[in-house]
Structure 1
Amino acid sequence: MSSIRNTAKKFVPSVRLRKYLKSFADLCLIHSAPLRHSRSLKRIKGKAVIKVAFFVVNGAIWKLDDVFRMMMDDKRFDPVIIVCPYISYNGEMMKIWMNDAYNLFTGKQYPVLMALNTNTERWLDVKNEIRPDIIFFTTSYQLTREDYYIRNFPDHLTCYVPYAFMTPNTYDEQFNQFFHNAVWRAFYETPIHKEIAVKYARNRGRNVRVTGYPGCDPFLDKSHKPADIWKKSAAGVKRVIWAPHHLMKEGLKTSNFLNYSGIMLDIAKKYQGKLQFVLKPHPMLKPKLYQYPEWGKKKTDDYFREWEDLPNGQVEEGDYIDLFLTSDALILDCGSFITEYMFTGKPSVFMISNEDVMTGWNEYGEKALSVLYHSRKFEELNFFIESVVIGGKDTMREKRIEFIKEVLMPPGNRSASENIFNGIVGEIWPI
């Protein structure tokens, strides 16, 4: 891909003309995508085993455990995870992230490959060395090398499952990138998200299938027994999660972290013996704090260590399913956890850092946020802690339950993962 780009620069020196030609080429690829996908589907139908590659840039956004296990258990599929680089980081940090993801999947005993051979510094040629029939993408953003982006696989059956519930009203970014229009199947969360795609995507959402969100499947699994990862405490002590976002200075500045970092520590100290706290930061929060001059690595590490040293506090940066299930309440300012935590049946309060935040939701986000508690100032946050968490006066509970039943439950009385898996099986081997 880079050689093609360099050649284009040589023969088409005008930046404006190159952008026009790229836009025209993208349009052609989008319009021809159904035909190419149809040919690819026809080609693999005669195969005894279907090779499926799952591209992952960060283990924290992995939501496809059940889909992957279903494929591992089905002899017709040969799934493998490819850990791709997150190129926004420098070489060393990039390798740390890749190693963390690799270790996550080896711990689950999944077949997994690193895209980078650290001994030879050579990048994996997925198209020719793995030769996948189907590729799953876990993010629509161009966060990795071009070798592992959808443009490099126009003749493959490509699938997309969002890494979180899409709540912002950045419609082009969330529903109408080249990626969304070129992917073979986009497995979306709710009928509302499908309607948004029909309205805003260039291809009018023709590749969208509503399956429910696989990240919420564990909350609906009655047989799941969550591990208790909280520090030991006396009986009756309520458990509260604080999940700050990373957008502190960018975009709508949704994160309250810079204003509340000290306040939340004080709250945790104040309620020792009554409340237990977990700091669950967004994966991008700590790296950004490292880069801020007023924070830096030492201050950031000291701050996180102070949480760990509290008798009623700790930091959790990994998987959060069991953390959510064993908690009593959530304090948040990020869109992705709004829905996932709702499935626990527990109350949550959304911290509004500024009024611009309330203008940034799509149709789904507005509906979901309407059944949560809100706080715009410390007094409202304190009311949530005192009245809802400690006092148990959860007046929004029935509204949340109704929202789950009417909007969130996966279709077909099956899990979202089952819907995704069955959808692919039905395409390849229709009954």
Structure 2
Amino acid sequence: MSYSNAKYIIFGAGSFGESVYSNFINKKNVLGFVDNNKNSKKIYNLTVSTIEFLFNVKFDYIIICSEPGKFEILKQLISLNIDKTKILIAEKNNSEIIVSRLEKVDDIFVKEQIDSQSFLHNQNNYLQLLDKFNQLNNSVKSNLIFFRKEHTLRQISKKFNNKEKIKVAFFVIWSSQFTFSGLFELMRNDKSPFDPFIIVCRIPNLSVEDNSRYANVYEKSLKDLTDKYGEKYVKQNYVNGRYVYLLDNIDIAFFSMIHPYAYDKSSLPETLFKNNILLYFCEYSIDVAKKTEQEIITVQHRYSQLNFFYKIYTINNYLSSCISNDYHIKYIGYPKLDEFSKFENQNKTTKCRKKIILAPHQDFNKENFCGNFLKTYKLYYQLPDIYPEIDFIFRPHPLLIPNLYLYWGKKKTDSFINKVLSNKNVTLDSSSFYYQNFAESDAIIHDCGSFLVEYLITSKPEFFLEDDPKILDHYLNDFSKSCIDHIYLGHTLKQACSFIDKVVIGEIDNKKEKRTRFVNKYVKYNYPNINKKIFEDIMNDLS
């Protein structure tokens, strides 16, 4: 081999690695060997090192020299963020050794990895392979998905490098859960290389009961997002009673909800994946719940679509238990929080009345750490009556009232809502966008798991309507347990009044200093530049 003066590392200390080394004309160009099964032997006086060696020397290329394990090594190197342009793959061709750049890996994969499956012999077209996807064993599926992602990335990168606009779709179920709104706004910039748009998705195949709960979600989301961004940027996947196909003009797609029931077949991530669309994901809320082993299995099934995503952005490690390969999980923060920065420094010097948000969750008819509505619902009309000098914002979860109609009936539900709103110091907030209210408020009283973390962005006090240590320990993951340490807990009217009297009115917030430090370190991770970081990361992926 004649490779000028570039410096090389050989990955694989077996006989094939030795053969590759022996073919170098200038053997001084080889810095050493790396092997996952390191032993004490040397090869031609070169030490066989562990993979950490890659981070201790400067090299130009690494050559994968392992016939049976080349694909696992390739995934391992990419998981370590090794520049793909530095990765070479060696293969035997009769008595000749051929070293290929990563661009050739699709052909290698089809020829050698799939050949072992007799029913797929000689299939060298990805679409044909994907048609048989469900028949493949898990190992082949994993490799097929992995290389399909890399293939798709390269195709889009060619467009990007040719200065073509990259078409980017943001799939949204609920406008209030548009996690990537900040990224969308960055991509709308005239100088951006992207052409972004939103696809509002209607949940398909609803039962009669579910249809009564979700009836207005689609229409409201479509209206809210169109009002905010304009018709130019908002599309819908359901027109005149039929789902429409929108995948012909998409290069990249972003999702923030992944439940299989949420999308019709043409909008499923798996379908987009098969259509050469590069997928990115960030959960619509910050998950706070601990999962049992059985629940993880259930969640893995629900989240199986995540395996088709090229990259997953998160603030904690919850999703790592939900996918088979987590090498593309990136801990970058929760992008939705950037929206709060627009309101964070609003001038409040003229404000003379305290303001508290009341936010009941929709999950109430089961044993759960969040969703204590049936135990605490009287608080929502009692507190405004007790404190007429305080303004209250009543913000129920969008599904609470539909759920109550099914559980209580319309008469009792309407009576409850009317009783809450009969207080002149209460306003109802049913909007999709709530961070302005977060900024203008002085505190929140709630039982919502997602708000447990989200409201912390304000560094203001919150009162969570659960204080049973057994329940909290059973249901909360480690991250949310850390959050709980910096807020106030309780479930009775007396405890809520004590919180208001002492912390809100009296402004004796003993947890404030510690909470602020915690928020700045863990919740405001990369804030307020989380979307900018994601934007830069995607640009780096494509360049």
Q: Quick one: which of 370, 377, 384 aligns to 2:499?
A: 384
**Number of the residue aligned with 1:349:** 463
**Number of the residue aligned with 1:139:** 257
Q: Quick one: which of 261, 271, 283 aligns to 1:152?
A: 271
Whether the aligned pair in 1 keeps the contact of 2:343 and 2:436 (CA below 8 Å) is no
Whether the aligned pair in 2 keeps the contact of 1:52 and 1:135 (CA below 8 Å) is yes
Q: Note the C-alpha offset of 1:89.
A: 6.0
Bigger Cα displacement from structure 2, 164-173 vs 107-116? 164-173
Alignment CA distance shift 1:55-1:162 (3 Å): same
**Number of the residue aligned with 1:211:** 332
Alignment CA distance shift 1:115-1:44 (3 Å): same
Q: Quick one: which of 379, 401, 418 aligns to 1:305?
A: 418
Within a 5 Å distance, the mapping from 1:4-403 to structure 2 comes to 28-47=140-159, 48-73=164-189, 74-87=191-204, 88=206, 90=208, 94=214, 96-110=216-230, 111-118=233-240, 121-128=241-248, 131-142=249-260, 143-155=262-274, 156-170=277-291, 171=296, 177-189=303-315, 193-194=316-317, 196-198=318-320, 200-221=321-342, 225=346, 236-252=352-368, 254-273=370-389, 275-292=390-407, 295-318=408-431, 319-352=433-466, 355-403=470-518
1:33 maps to amino acid = I
Q: In 2, distance between residues paired with 1:187 and 1:382?
A: 39
Whether the aligned pair in 2 keeps the contact of 1:30 and 1:178 (CA below 8 Å) is no
Q: Note the C-alpha offset of 1:391.
A: 1.2
Alignment CA distance shift 1:251-1:138 (3 Å): farther
Q: Which has the larger radius of gyration?
A: 2
Q: In 1, distance between residues paired with 2:528 and 2:174?
A: 27
Any idea what the Cα deviations from partners look like across 1:86-141, whole Å, max 9, x if unmatched? 244655765532111111111112411111112xx22111223xx31111111122
For the residue of structure 1 that corresponds to 2:216, the secondary structure is helix
Any idea what the Cα deviations from partners look like across 1:187-223, whole Å, max 9, x if unmatched? 112xxx23x445x244342111122111211334578
1:157 maps to amino acid = L
Any idea what the Cα deviations from partners look like across 1:353-380, whole Å, max 9, x if unmatched? 7542431111211111111111143332
For the residue of structure 1 that corresponds to 2:183, the secondary structure is helix
Q: Note the C-alpha offset of 1:264.
A: 2.5
Alignment CA distance shift 1:362-1:173 (3 Å): farther
Q: Note the C-alpha offset of 1:22.
A: 5.5
Any idea what the Cα deviations from partners look like across 1:361-406, whole Å, max 9, x if unmatched? 1121111111111114333222111111111110011121111222
Any idea what the Cα deviations from partners look like across 1:302-342, whole Å, max 9, x if unmatched? 32233333211121121210011000011111111122211
For the residue of structure 1 that corresponds to 2:259, the secondary structure is coil
**Number of the residue aligned with 1:419:** 533
Q: In 1, distance between residues paired with 2:287 and 2:461?
A: 21
Q: In 1, distance between residues paired with 2:221 and 2:356?
A: 27
Whether the aligned pair in 2 keeps the contact of 1:26 and 1:178 (CA below 8 Å) is no
Q: In 2, distance between residues paired with 1:358 and 1:376?
A: 16
Alignment CA distance shift 1:108-1:308 (3 Å): same
For the residue of structure 2 that corresponds to 1:154, the secondary structure is helix
For the residue of structure 2 that corresponds to 1:217, the secondary structure is helix
Q: Note the C-alpha offset of 1:172.
A: 5.0
- % of aligned pairs identical? 24
1:36 maps to amino acid = R
2:171 maps to amino acid = F
Whether the aligned pair in 1 keeps the contact of 2:300 and 2:322 (CA below 8 Å) is yes
For the residue of structure 2 that corresponds to 1:167, the secondary structure is coil
For the residue of structure 2 that corresponds to 1:203, the secondary structure is coil
Give me the CA root mean square deviation. 2.7
For the residue of structure 2 that corresponds to 1:46, the secondary structure is helix
Where structure 2 has 5 or more consecutive residues not aligned to the other structure, the ranges are: 1-132
Alignment CA distance shift 1:353-1:141 (3 Å): farther
Alignment CA distance shift 1:123-1:235 (3 Å): closer
1:150 maps to amino acid = P
Q: In 2, distance between residues paired with 1:104 and 1:243?
A: 21
Q: Note the C-alpha offset of 1:414.
A: 5.8
For the residue of structure 2 that corresponds to 1:392, the secondary structure is coil
Q: In 2, distance between residues paired with 1:391 and 1:42?
A: 60
Whether the aligned pair in 1 keeps the contact of 2:337 and 2:528 (CA below 8 Å) is no
Alignment CA distance shift 1:147-1:184 (3 Å): same
Q: In 2, distance between residues paired with 1:417 and 1:227?
A: 27
Whether the aligned pair in 2 keeps the contact of 1:135 and 1:157 (CA below 8 Å) is yes
TM-score (norm 2): 0.67
Higher relative contact order (CA 8 A, sep 6+): 1
Q: In 1, distance between residues paired with 2:495 and 2:257?
A: 35
Q: Note the C-alpha offset of 1:409.
A: 2.7
Q: Note the C-alpha offset of 1:260.
A: 2.0
Q: In 2, distance between residues paired with 1:226 and 1:251?
A: 42
For the residue of structure 1 that corresponds to 2:222, the secondary structure is helix
For the residue of structure 2 that corresponds to 1:153, the secondary structure is helix
Alignment CA distance shift 1:237-1:175 (3 Å): farther
Bigger Cα displacement from structure 2, 180-189 vs 372-381? 372-381
Q: Note the C-alpha offset of 1:352.
A: 0.8
Q: Note the C-alpha offset of 1:423.
A: 1.0
Q: In 1, distance between residues paired with 2:485 and 2:196?
A: 40
Alignment CA distance shift 1:223-1:246 (3 Å): closer
Whether the aligned pair in 1 keeps the contact of 2:369 and 2:475 (CA below 8 Å) is no
Q: In 2, distance between residues paired with 1:153 and 1:25?
A: 21
